[in-house]
A and B are shown apart, each in its own frame.
Chain A
Amino acid sequence: MLIDHPLLGLRDAAEFVYLGDAALLNRPDASSADALDSFHDYLHLRDNVAGEHRELWYHEQGDRSWLVITRNTLTHAITAVELARDVAMNLREGANS
């Protein structure tokens, strides 16, 4: 399987490490009133998606970047690859606006 890295182009999937659901980027606010429940869900609950899934991959044997990859879990087709840094910064800007 090849992954079309946004900076480096097509790279072998063997260079990457899979982490899991990209929802891990949405860390709950530890100071909120429902922080205990939020962190329970954040740590332990995952959707088991049959279809398009956004997930975190780490380019360990490459440029050490984190990526958000949109992959179809039924076909393994990859439809989008983004730098996790860009995704996280967009999330932060959205939260602040």
Chain B
Amino acid sequence: MADLSLEPESALGGYTQNFGDTHLREVTGLDIVSIAVSSGARDALSTLLQEKIGLPWPATGTIERAGDEAALLGLQADQCFRVSASQQQNPVTELACLVGDAAYLTDQSDSWVVLELDGASSVSALERICPIDLSDNEFGALNVARTSMEHISVIIERPDTHRFRLYSPRSSAHSFLHAVTTSLHNL
């Protein structure tokens, strides 16, 4: 039998590009786990998350963050994403040991392409394609939202003022990259 060694490829092959003062890159090496609250277990889950990973349940539209690569994204009333640096093991197994039956967990690590836009022109580029009001008082640092850009579903996260992370389905990764780069070229 042939001795094969397979390496996983990211959706955009580690894309990285400067556009003037703004940098666009593909973020790889993230574990993304969907956490959905079991019926009636909201308070129990909130307590467990605080005890086990040191983060409270995020209010819808906000991010609870510990360090640069571990966060809970509050996407809807009873669901959030846990995003953390890849640990080379099944992230669901690890999290299931911590929260037990209080949540339904789904590994979505390979389902999303993640783009990071960093720089002074980030807002100018995004406001052409993003229907969310990105002004500092409406969508400042540590805010998150699901929306669509160019008819493609997107989760937009703002870790800090000049930096955005955009999660979009991996299956349309190149179309989404085209939408973002076109907007950057048009500045």
Q: What residues of chain A have their CB less than 8 Å away from a CB belonging to chain B? A: 7-12, 14-15, 61-65, 85
* Binary CB contact string for chain B from 126 to 164 against chain A (1 if under 8 A, 0 otherwise): 000001110000100000011110000100000000000
Of the candidates B60, B133, B148, which one forms a contact with A63 in the assembled complex, judged by CB atoms under 8 Å apart?
B60
- Asked whether, in the complex, the Cβ of B148 is within 8 Å of the Cβ of A15, the reply is yes
Give chain A residues whose Cβ lies under 8 Å from the Cβ of B145. Answer: 8, 62
Q: Do the beta carbons of B77 and A7 come within 8 Å of each other?
A: yes
Contact present for A14 and B77 (CB under 8 Å): no
Contacting pair B148 A61 (CB below 8 A): yes
Is the CB of B11 closer than 8 A to any CB of chain A?
no
User: Chain B residues with Cβ under 8 A from A11's Cβ?
Assistant: 131-132, 147
Residues of B within 8 A of A (CB): 60-61, 75-77, 131-133, 138, 145-148, 153
Q: Do the beta carbons of A63 and B147 come within 8 Å of each other?
A: no
Which residues of chain B have C-beta atoms less than 8 A from A62's C-beta?
145-147
Q: Which residues of B contact A64 (CB under 8 A)?
A: 76, 146
Contact across chains for B138 and A63 when beta carbons are under 8 A apart: no
Interface centre among A8, A10, A12, A63 (most CB of B within 10 A): A63
Q: Decide if A61 touches B61 in the complex (CB within 8 Å).
A: no
Q: Considering only CB atoms, which chain A residue lies closest to B131 in the complex?
A: A12
Bound CA span A62–B156, Å: 11
Query: In the complex, are the beta carbons of A65 and B131 less than 8 A apart?
Result: no
Other than the known A11-B131, A62-B145, A62-B146, what 14 A-B pairs have Cβ atoms closer than 8 Å? Answer: A7-B61, A8-B60, A10-B133, A12-B131, A12-B147, A14-B148, A15-B147, A61-B146, A61-B147, A62-B147, A63-B60, A63-B75, A63-B76, A65-B76
